[in-house]
Amino acid sequence: MSPDRTNPWEMAQRQFFEAAEAMGLDDNMRRVLSQPKRELIVHFPVEMDDGRIEVFHGYRVQHNIARGPAKGGIRYSPDVTLDEVRALAMWMTWKTAVVGIPFGGAKGGVQVDPRKLSHRELERLTRRFATEISILIGPDRDIPAPDVHTNPQVMAWIMDTISMHKGYSVPGVVTGKPIEIGGSRGRNEATSQGALYVTLEALPRVGLNINDAKVSIQGFGNAGSIAARLFHEAGATIVAVSDSQGGIYNPRGLDVQKLLEVKRETGSVVHYPDGDKMGSADVLEVPCDILIPAALEDQITEENADRIQARMVVEAANGPTTPEADRILHDKGILVLPDILANAGGVTVSYFEWVQDLYSFFWDEERVKSELKAIMKRAYHAVFEIVDQKKVLPRTAAYILAIQRVVDATRIRGIYP
């Protein structure tokens, strides 16, 4: 891990202990919930197209399963570490609890740059990794989903691999699959759709109307690009976006459809012609009303938080804001919609997909959106009721809500044996 990067596991634990202190959580529960339940580390060989054998390193961590099967994505990145996966698994526990769906939290990852692999190499790596973690995953135990640099095709390979082991199709073993093999309509847009729903609920708190809002988005992958489209369709003006190669800014607004075309044709938004080019992180600091960090964790820190000019930060990424930055943003009067609330739309529609797979009964997109909207609105109001009652930061309120639900489940179940 880069020495100037905040350790995500330390950050996740700090956020947990701050909320535990605010709610007066007893020491026994702090010990139980501050550590992962299971950690699997695997080192597995993959035959490359030229006949070489490469050994890759992967992880699957289950943080908590008191409220149901573990749930969480799998990411492919050369920067994946065990601490990162631990943190993401813990955040998944709180995320599923905030929106009230019956899952625990898990996460997985492989240290690999998938852009350097051929299609066949990526498939072989995925199938071997799925085999390695098959001792943990299953529709009643642990259900993976797409994350950074993974997609519906990767989920299809995992589903097929586990199905071959079982001798029959097991569609519920993963979510985020193609619709043709048991995926849910609306899943691809779910994270950004959920972020939009909670943003619309929060706008009155900062005196904003969506039609007057200027939006800056860091990250133009699945979540960021779809957020650009959905917020634009809702009436907002997208003024800045970025991806790993750089960013583009135009205070008069960007043509979202043209942005999507440029990204698809050239691989980066930096080739968009009508705007000022800037660094990937610079879009965090442009004048805007709504800032959406939709890239990786540890993006808004105490070094740059004071330069944030937004009125609201909507965390479409996991862990983009450090605890120190949280306090700075609060002192500046910037409302933060925390990740475990703002980006919980993805896992919520994953839950819908899992339910549809179990019953082999599938919903149309309007029902998916309607059910998602109801859950996100309910979660938003539950969080901000705690904000108003306890006078705490929205992140602390979301943690209090989530932790209490996990604590209640743990106490009711008891400590075995």
Catalytically annotated residues: 107
3-class secondary structure, 5: coil
Alpha-carbon gap, residue 79 to 110, rounded angstroms? 9
The widest CA-to-CA distance across the chain, in whole angstroms, is: 65
Question: What single-letter amino acid sits at 334?
Answer: I
Alpha helices in 297-364 (DSSP H): 323-331, 339-342, 345-359
Q: How far apart, in Å, are the Cα atoms of 393 and each of 52, 254, 413? A: 52, 32, 30
| Residue found by looking up tokens 């200027």 in the block | 214
Residue 155, CA atoms < 13 Å, CB-side half-sphere: 33
| Residue found by looking up tokens 């135990």 in the block | 141
Long-range contacts of 129-133 (CB under 8 A, 24+ apart): 129/42, 129/44, 129/56, 129/58, 129/74, 130/157, 130/158, 130/161, 130/162, 131/161, 131/165, 132/40, 132/42, 132/44, 132/58, 133/40, 133/42, 133/58, 133/60, 133/108
Alpha-carbon gap, residue 367 to 373, rounded angstroms? 10
Tokens of 284: 């965090």
Please confirm whether the linkage preceding 417 is cis (ω < 30° from 0): yes
Alpha-carbon gap, residue 23 to 18, rounded angstroms? 9
Burial 325-363 (b: 16+ CB within 10 A, else e): bbebbbeeebbbbbbbbbbbbbbbbbbbbbbbbeeeebb
Q: How far apart, in Å, are the Cα atoms of 82 and each of 10, 36, 41, 107? A: 12, 11, 8, 10
